[in-house]
Amino acid sequence: MKSYKTQRRVSLTLRYILLALLAIVWIFPIMWIILASLTQNNTGFVSTIIPKTFTFENYTQLFQNKSGSFPFVSWIINTFFVAVVSAVLSTFITIIMSYTLSRLRFAFRKPFLQIALVLGMFPGFMSMIALYYILKAINMLNLGGLILVYVGGAGLGFYIAKGFFDTIPRSIDEAATIDGANKWQVFTHITLPLSRPIIVYTALMAFIAPWTDFIFSGIILGNNQAHPETFTIAYGLYSMVHSQKGAATAFFTQFIAGCVIIAIPITILFVIMQKFYVNGITAGADKG
Amino acid sequence: MTKKKKRKLTESTVSPEEKAIKVSEVFSKGDTTTKLTFFVMGLNQIKNKQWVKGLTLLILEIAFIGWLLFSGISAFSLLSSLGPNKVKRTITDASGFPQTLQPDNSVLILLWGLIACLVVVLFILLYWFNYRSNKHLYFLKREGKAIPTNREELASLLDTKLYATLMAIPLIGVLAFTVLPTVYMISMAFTNYDRLHAVAFSWTGFQAFGNVLTGDLAGTFFPVLGWTLVWAIVATATTFLGGVLLAILIESTGIKFKGFWRTIFVIVFAVPQFVTLLMMAQFLDQQGALNGILMNLHLISHPINFIGAASDPMVARITVIFVNMWIGIPVSMLVSTAIIQNLPQDQIEAARIDGANTFNIFRSITFPQILFVMTPALIQQFIGNINNFNVIYLLTGGWPMNPNYQGAGSTDLLVTWLYNLVFGQTQRYNAAAVLGILIFIVNASISLVAYRRTNAFKEG
């Protein structure tokens, strides 16, 4: 009995050590990012781990924008605008789309689900040049066009929300129908109030996407290099280290500070939302 | 109340008698208005006081014909040649002044031509809808049934036809921002649109496919395809296995503060990828922090060039896979945690009583069950890894460059190579489009085979 106990204790200790080691490996680069953002270093390269002097200068300079070419505050306002508008519209579209495909039956339903699956197999970049020209043709190479692109894709992002609607018992709908409700009333009075978790999840994901996407925003806004105040945060930060020669070294610590500023709220949101995320994936996975 | 219910249950489906009616019968036996509605959409509906439906159809038909006459036909006629003027030339106009004619912009001609095709397809669908509605009216009259009033028609949009109401706007978005761009890019694969034909290009059939599969790009395509597949297999397998093991470690009995441990790993995944990956690139740089640490610990004497321009291709590829594990394992861990928590405990308990050790339980019970639930998600992850633009583009940018490749580096996947072909120096748009189609074929065939297999697995 005693040997069993010690054996368990050894096993538990070993597992704790392993877990702690892994946790250090995983968290270390993140800590490095935060430390680097507090480093006073204008040579551009942060090769030390612990900064020699701690400073918030990177953050203050970021907001002051002394160089004039990296208007961080404008980026935040732009991104916030794009994120709010596209989150509202995308959520609306995703929810009605997934409700329709989950709950209503019509001739086109099965083919549409298959077409959506097939469309998802084309690499996204294929359509980028096309989107660029379409937006250029309607003179929308701006934040409005970016919103259109984000919202336009929402009609196909229904898998997770559909998985959620599939789990709401159908008998509730049927009971309401017998009581004389039409399908619109079932949708607005019964399904929508029940689906608050998935609405919150969809809205948050749609809100986060513009904060992290640098590819689409780069293609749509990137040709306007003379006006960096039209960028979004992700593309602006990306341009900070990539587009301008020499900027990579001079603005590197400011770039990290900017990254930390946007990463913190998104990380917090995500950690709160992780339960919904998992439910979404496994719900979708179960259906096959 | 009961009457209302009955109406709802019957109205949603078209009766077999109505389905049996042929086009010829509607046309020959219908009254004059029914006949005319074959040509002037909405007439019969207007005659039967379905104002909204009838007027909408009529106005849309007029708009379509107007559009066809004023711009549609010219869009179609230009589509076959993608614009007759291929080169810049000078002509003398009527008053004797020389004038420079710019070449036709094939990019826009192709775009407007495809939009025109889309409009025609939509109009054919509308015409079919008009025919169905006309037939329905004919059927109702033949059977002597009541014709739904305007008000009833509108009410059905919120009930039996709610799907049409709800899907209208999302479908327009999908058509404009997914279908149209995809078709546009597919058609570019059949042109000679590249740096030399940047404005005016022509149809060249399968020539661009030839370039990629057997021509000058074949020497890049097949090695990059090979690496893409190896990468996708290894990346999916390592993150999945690592995630399952990590989840089991955290979920094992005796470990306290499970939520705290999970959160530590989740943080990595939650930070936007362009932040973590760009920082990782800095961290792993030849002069970066990791080399600094290793040197200070005297583990290495010279800095290792993990992912730089001059690094060893093998080292770079292994580094990319490790960094991907760092990003991907937390995701798999979250998902497997959810599955592990829902596994039936009695089986595991029974196995333990029968004397199975932890490893045996894992191999024979836990792992197969997790694998079973996660197979569809794994297929999705595999396809996601084939198209994993972010990890490669942000971490290595495709580096180290490979002198044997055209516009690709040793760590480039097909998608990042596609990106280079479009936005890089080479600007071979048609080859990029071909590549997109080939990636689609790879994705589609893998998921087809995999889904077939999993279904067989489930049934058997």
Alpha-carbon distances, residue B127 vs A193, B76, B120, B124 (angstroms): 38, 20, 10, 5
Of the candidates A121, A18, A45, A67, the one whose C-alpha atom is nearest the C-alpha of residue A236 is A67
Whether B65 shows a pLDDT value over 70: the answer reads yes
Contact B272 A263 (CB under 8 A): yes
Residue A261, amino acid: I
pLDDT tens digits along B78-102: 777 776 776 677 777 777 777 777 7
Amino acid in the structure at residue A102: S
Question: Which residue from B minimizes the CA distance to A155?
Answer: B170
Unique residue bearing structure tokens 């592990």: B340
Option in B174, B373, B444 nearest A155 (CB):
B174
Q: Does pLDDT of A247 surpass 70?
A: no
Identify the residue with better confidence: A119 or B11.
A119
pLDDT tens digits, residue range A196-206? 888 888 888 88
The pLDDT, as a whole number, for residue B186 is 87
- Nearest CA of chain A to the CA of B55: how many Å? 24
Q: What is the pLDDT of residue B196?
A: 75
Q: Do A125 and B415 touch (CB under 8 A)?
A: yes
Q: What's the CA angle centered on B436, arms B435 and B438, to 5 degrees?
A: 60
- Report how far apart, in Å, the C-alpha atoms of B207 and of each of B129, B202, B296 are: 40, 11, 56
Residue B432 has what pLDDT? Answer: 84
Q: What is the pLDDT of residue A243?
A: 55
**DSSP β-bridge partners for residue A39:** A54
Write out residues 27-46 of A within 8 Å (CB-CB) of B.
27, 29-30, 32-33, 36, 45-46
Under the banding of pLDDT at 50, 70 and 90, the label for residue A250 is low
Q: With 70 as the cut, is the pLDDT of residue B176 above it?
A: yes
The answer to whether residue A107 neighbours chain B at the CB level (below 8 Å) is no
- Cα–Cα distance measured from residue B58 to residue A57, given in angstroms and rounded to the nearest whole number: 66
Would you call B443 exposed, middle or buried from its count of C-beta atoms within 10 A (0-12, 13-18, 19+)? buried
Lowest-confidence range among A12-21, A164-173, B182-191?
Answer: A164-173
Model pLDDT, residue B234: 93
Q: Using an 8 Å CB-CB cutoff, list chain A residues near B283.
A: 29, 32
Average pLDDT over residues B193-208: 76
Question: Mean pLDDT in chain B?
Answer: 79
Chain B hits for A287, CB-CB cut-off 8 Å, are: 376
Mean pLDDT for the stretch of residues A261-278: 77
End-to-end CA distance of chain B: 48
**pLDDT tens readout for residues B399-430:** 777 777 777 777 888 888 888 888 777 778 88
Quick one: pLDDT at residue A277? Answer: 66
pLDDT band for position A249 (cuts 50, 70, 90): low
Q: Which residues of A touch B287 (CB under 8 A)?
A: 45, 47
Residue among A40, A240, A187, A223 nearest B278 (CA): A240
pLDDT higher than 50, residue A55 = yes
Average pLDDT value for residue range B251-265: 79
| Mean pLDDT, rounded, for B448-452 | 76
Instruction: Give per-residue pLDDT as tens, A67-87.
Output: 666 788 888 888 889 889 999
Closest chain A residue by Cα to residue B265 = A26
CA nearest to A241 within chain B: B278
**Model confidence over A14-50: pLDDT tens digits?**
888 888 888 888 888 888 888 877 777 655 455 555 6
**Which range is least confidently modeled, B111-125, B144-158, B164-178?**
B144-158
Contact (CB<8Å) B376/A284: yes
To the nearest whole percent, how much of chain B has pLDDT over 90? 2
> Among residues B240, B425, B232, B402, which one has the least CA distance to residue B320?
B232
Min mean pLDDT across B5-19, B76-90, B194-208 is at B5-19
Residues of chain A neighbouring B276 (CB-CB closer than 8 A): 29-30, 33
Mean pLDDT of chain A, nearest integer: 78
pLDDT band of residue B235 (cuts 50, 70, 90) is very high
Q: Check pLDDT > 70 for residue B201.
A: yes
Going by the DSSP 8-state scheme, the letter that residue A44 receives in this structure is S
Closest C-alpha among B164, B340, B332 to residue B251: B340
A273-287, B45-59, B273-287, B302-316: least confident range: A273-287
- B455 pLDDT more than 70: no
pLDDT tens digits, one per residue of B11-45? 445 677 777 777 778 777 878 777 777 887 877 78
Per-residue pLDDT at B238:
92
Q: Which residues of A66-94 are buried (b: 16+ CB within 10 A; e: fewer)?
A: eeebbbbebbbebbebbbebbbebbbbbb
By percentage, how much of chain A surpasses pLDDT 70? 84
* Residue B460 pLDDT grade (very low, low, confident, very high; cuts 50, 70, 90): very low
Residues of B in contact with A29 (CB under 8 A): 268, 276, 279-280, 283, 326
Q: Which helix (H) or strand (E) holds A271?
A: helix A252-287
Using an 8 Å CB-CB cutoff, list chain A residues near B265: 22-23, 26
Measured between beta carbons, the chain A residues lying within 8 angstroms of B284 are: none
Interchain CB distance below 8 Å, A127 and B268: no
Q: Over 70: is that where the pLDDT of B360 sits?
A: yes
pLDDT at A146 over 80: yes
Residue A18 contacts B, CB cutoff 8 Å: yes
Categorize the per-residue pLDDT at B257 as very low, low, confident or very high, splitting at 50, 70 and 90. Answer: confident
The Cα-based distances of A88 to A150, A186, A202, B12 in angstroms read 11, 22, 10, 32
Q: What is the pLDDT of residue A85?
A: 93
Q: What is the interface size between A and B, counted as CB pairs within 8 Å? A: 268
ipTM over 0.90 threshold = no
For residue A280, the model assigns a pLDDT of 58
